[in-house]
């Protein structure tokens, strides 16, 4: 079963997104802030990380940089979730090593498409 690590500090958003993803057949692990995300990436070994960038003390981008710096977790694809569709947000997402990005509120079918595309991309790279 494909495992996703959902990094999101807002409980409602975490609950909504996880329930819809579980219904799509994903297994979900959670992290509520940057340090938990870094630890979770190593311990849960997810197939993909959904990273909210507005996380409080440590931003999702900083957490992504740390995950990409660790050789054990560097290959896990990260999709950034930002509040605005700003060009600078998009640029920053690419800069820290995210494979894709999407805006919140989540358009679920679109996000699902991005998740599947990212997973296919990784599989292709591995084979």
Partner 1 sequence: MALSNYLDQLTRFSDWFIPSDLAANREQREKARLFLYSHICGPFIGGSVPLTIWLFDDATDFRVVTLFASIFAFWIFPPLLRTFGRYYLVSIASVQNLIFCILWSCYFYGGLSSPMVAWVLVIPLLSFMYVGSSARMRGVLIAQFLVNGLIYYALCNWFVSPTVTMTAGALEALGIVSTAAACAYVTMMALLYANALASQVELQSEVDRHLATAADLLAATEDARRSSTAKSDFIARMSHELRTPLNAIIGYSEILLDDSEGDPVESRDLDRIRQAGKHLLKLVNRILDLSRIEAGRMEKSAEWTDCGQLAQGVADDLAPLAKKNGDKIVCKIEPGLGLISTDAHKLKQILGNLVENAAQYTRNGEIVVSVERAQAGPDEALQIVVRDNGPGIAPDRLPHVLNNFDVLDDDRENADSGAGLGLPLARRLCELIGARLSIESKIGKGTVAFVRLLRNGDATLGAGADFGIAPPSEDIKALADLGAAMRSAQSQRSYENDQAAVG
The residue ranges that bind partner 1 (CB under 8 A) are 10, 12-13, 16-17, 19-20, 23, 83, 85-88, 104-106, 108
Report the nearest approach of partner 1 to the CB of residue 16 (Å).
4
Instruction: Compute the least distance from the CB of residue 87 to partner 1, in Å.
Output: 3
Nearer to partner 1, 22 or 39 (CB): 22
Q: Which is nearer to partner 1, 33 or 122 (CB)?
A: 33
> CA-CA distance, 121 to 54, in Å (whole number)?
26
The answer to whether 100 and 106 are in contact (CB under 8 A) is: no
Smallest distance, partner 1 to C-beta of residue 94, A: 13
The CA distance from 79 to 118, in Å, is 8
Longest Cα separation, the chain: 38
Nearer to partner 1, 3 or 84 (CB): 84
Which residues are CB-contacts of 47 (< 8 A; sequence separation ≥ 6)?
2, 3, 4, 76, 119, 122
């Amino acid at each position: 079963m494909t495992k996703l690590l959902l990094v999101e500090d807002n409980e409602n958003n975490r609950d909504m997104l996880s329930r819809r993803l579980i219904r799509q057949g994903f297994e979900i692990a959670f992290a509520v802030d940057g340090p938990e995300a870094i630890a979770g990436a190593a311990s849960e070994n997810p197939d993909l990380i959904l990273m909210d960038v507005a996380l409080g003390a440590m931003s999702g981008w900083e957490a992504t940089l740390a995950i990409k710096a660790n050789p054990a977790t560097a290959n896990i694809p990260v999709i950034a979730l930002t509040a605005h569709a700003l060009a600078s947000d998009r640029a920053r997402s690419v800069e820290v090593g995210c494979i894709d990005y999407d805006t919140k509120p989540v358009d679920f079918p679109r996000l699902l498409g991005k998740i599947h595309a990212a997973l296919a991309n990784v599989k292709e790279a591995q084979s």
